[in-house]
Amino acid sequence: MKCLIIAAGQGSRLRSIAEAKPLIPLRNTPLIERVIDSCLEAGVDGFYVVVGYKGSSVRAHLEKVSLAKNVPIAIIENEEWERANGISVLKAKSHINEPFLLMMGDHIFDPEIARLLIRQSSENEGIMLAVDEDLKNPFVDMDDVTRVVTQENLIQKIGKGIEPYNCFDTGVFLCDPTLFSAIEKSAEEGDDSLSGGVRNLAKQGKAKTVPIDGLFWCDIDDPNNFKQAEEYLSSLAENCA
């Protein structure tokens, strides 16, 4: 299965650590490379990565990763990277015509989350979103996380700041190409975000959820998230030593 990673944003809240957010080293491995490694472990055999801000630096690193890991990585440019993240997804429309995983370039996660989705790929129509039902997860930034209301494993609502909610969007999706037309329709209505496309599919009953049952994930969005993730990965390394 192929994977689309969107890594076009500026990441201004982490500017104190590095200029290009996807290349921020977390325990000596850049964020974007950690995403790729987790996907490879889950069974992904090829990647499309959408780059934007500092795109030439990210491209150069990914070309090295592609050679070192012997895995195809196609780079897609998004010159409109200042717009909502749905635009980055749409940039891949002409490249993908089969089911695919969709990842954020700044979310690190247990590979088992991706495996959960891949195992259910034959049942997917539209999108499946891995969701975290732990509403007290200490790794979650409540001011920034995308919240979800799910009922009988179908998304009812999704967005930042919504109330009430019963789970969090982990940023790990299984999609089919209908996502592209759903985002296009949402953009025509004034919302060019990925969540806008998901809301469009939810209205059709084509946006399912899959609980991650306590598996680790973290959106590396600010220095606090970065420190949390660094400490977590350090504790894992110590336990494995």
Question: What is the predicted pLDDT for the residue at 130?
Answer: 98
- Tens place of pLDDT for every residue, the chain, 241 residues? 999 999 998 866 665 566 788 999 999 999 999 999 999 999 999 999 999 999 999 999 999 999 999 999 999 999 999 999 999 999 999 999 999 999 999 999 999 999 999 999 888 899 999 999 999 999 999 999 999 999 999 999 999 999 999 999 999 999 999 999 999 999 999 999 999 999 999 999 999 999 999 999 999 988 888 889 899 888 887 777 5
Question: How many other β-carbons are positioned within 10 Å of the β-carbon of residue 95?
Answer: 13
For the chain, domains (ranges, CATH) are 2-236 (3.90.550.10)
Burial of residue 237 (number of CB atoms within 10 Å: 0-12, 13-18, 19+) = exposed
CB-based contact 137:62 (threshold 8 Å): no
Residue 100 tokens, joined: 């695919």
Greatest alpha-carbon pair distance for the chain in Å reads 53
* Cα 90 to the center of its chain, rounded Å: 14
Pick from 58, 98, 37, 51: nearest CA to 79? 51
Task: Give the global pTM.
Answer: 0.96
**Residues 19-77: tens digit of each pLDDT:** 788 999 999 999 999 999 999 999 999 999 999 999 999 999 999 999 999 999 999 99
Residue 139, amino acid: F
Residue 35's pLDDT is: 98
Calculate what percentage of the chain has a pLDDT beyond 70: 96
Measured distance CA(133)–CA(48) in Å, rounded: 29
The answer to whether the CB of 220 falls within 8 A of the CB of 26 is yes
